[in-house]
Amino acid sequence: MRIRSLFIAGGLLAAGTLAPLATAAPAQAAAMSDICGGVIGGQFCLYYNSGQKGGGTGTRSNVANWDNYNNTGLPMNFADWGLGTNGVGQKVKNNAASWANSADRAGVSYYNSNYAGSYDVGNPNSIGQLVNTYNNNASFRWR
Concatenate the DSSP letters of all residues of 110-139 into one string.
EEETTTEEEEEEE-TTEEEE-STTTT---E
Looking at every residue in the chain, the average pLDDT score rounds to 80
Side chain identity, residue 32: M
* Structure confidence at residue 83 (pLDDT): 83
> Which among 105, 136, 98 has a CA at the least distance from the CA of 119?
136
- Residues in Cβ contact with 137 at an 8 Å cutoff, skipping those fewer than 6 apart: 46, 66, 92, 93, 94, 95, 96, 109, 110, 111, 130
* Structure confidence at residue 39 (pLDDT): 57
**Measured distance CA(88)–CA(21) in Å, rounded:** 30
* Structure confidence at residue 142 (pLDDT): 97
Which is more confidently placed, 71 or 7? Answer: 71
Q: What is the DSSP letter of 63?
A: B
Q: Does position 7 have pLDDT exceeding 60, yes or no?
A: no
Condensed to tens digits (0 to 9), the pLDDT of residues 70-117 reads 778 888 999 998 888 999 999 999 999 999 999 999 999 999 999 999
- Could you tell me the pTM of the whole model? 0.73
End-to-end Cα separation, the chain, in angstroms: 71
Residue pair 141/62 in contact by the 8 Å Cβ criterion: yes
Burial of 15 per CB tally in 10 Å (0-12, 13-18, 19+):
exposed
* Structure confidence at residue 10 (pLDDT): 44
* Structure confidence at residue 70 (pLDDT): 76
CA angle 131, 91, 32 (to 5 degrees): 65
**Measured distance CA(79)–CA(107) in Å, rounded:** 20
* Structure confidence at residue 72 (pLDDT): 84
Q: Does position 62 have pLDDT exceeding 50, yes or no?
A: yes
